Amino acid sequence: MNEMKSIQLYNSLIEKLDAHEYKLLKKYGEFISCAGGCSACCILESVFPVDAFVIYRAIASGKIDPVSLSFDETPGRCVFLKEGLCSIYSVRPVICRTHGYPVFVEGKADFCPENFKDLKTIDSEYILDLENLNKALASINIIFQRECDDNFFQKERITLKELKDFTLQLFNFLRREISDNDAVC
């Protein structure tokens, strides 16, 4: 099966973000407090449909074990947090891959106040231009929506709660299918 062009572009964007993160951590790792268990930035409520599709596909395919998922509905917190950890970390949305790190937004560099405390400057090559990143993601999302015929993924944004509910429908369907097949045997 050929992968959709939009998903290829999305994966390429993720590879570039991961390479940027690797380079950033190599140069400034000692000044970055972000680590497993820190979930201060995990307040995301909605994502582009292409982000939601990648998460959904990882869950549906078993890449993400459904048992490991959290569907915590604490107001103001991501539904995929489980005890302060991201239960979809390997397929977390694009924006989550930038949290805490230096980004250029609204004419200035911004980052988590817990990071870079004892540092006077950050080389510009380590600061992501958030507007350009969002434009690239929006373009990929447009291509994705042209390629995808599932109505669920045709919205402008998908809340993580909607994605959770859509995923739970899949689980319930699969459980019924397994139960029905077991009854036949």
Phi, psi of 37 (to 5 degrees): 100, -20
The answer to whether residue 176 is domain-embedded is no
Is 175 within the bounds of a domain?
Answer: no
For residues 107 and 131, give the distance between their C-alpha atoms in angstroms, rounded to a whole number: 10
Tens digit of each residue's pLDDT (9 = 90 or more) over 146-185: 999 999 999 999 999 899 888 878 766 655 555 454 444 4
pLDDT recorded at residue 182: 46
Look at residue 121 and tell me if it is in a domain. yes
Structural contact between residues 112 and 40, judged by C-beta atoms closer than 8 angstroms: yes
Mean of the pLDDT values across residues 54-70?
84
Q: Give the residue carrying structure tokens 């599709």.
A: 53
Q: Is residue 171 part of a domain?
A: no
Q: Containing domain of residue 141, as a range?
A: 5-160
Specify if 185 maps to a domain.
Answer: no
- Here the tokens at position 32 are 């970055």
Domain membership of residue 137 (yes or no) is: yes
Closest Cα to residue 60, out of 153, 181, 183? 153
- pLDDT tens figures, 102-143: 999 999 999 999 999 988 899 999 999 999 999 999 999 999
The angle that helices 49-61 and 5-28 make with each other, rounded to 10 degrees, is 90
Instruction: Report if residue 149 sits inside a domain.
Output: yes
The winner for highest mean pLDDT among 1-5, 82-86, 121-125 is 121-125
Residue 53 neighbours by CB distance under 10 Å? 25
pTM comes to 0.88
Domain count, the chain: 1
What's residue 55's pLDDT? 94
In a domain, 177, yes or no: no
- Measured in degrees and rounded to the nearest 5, phi and psi for residue 109 equal -80, 140
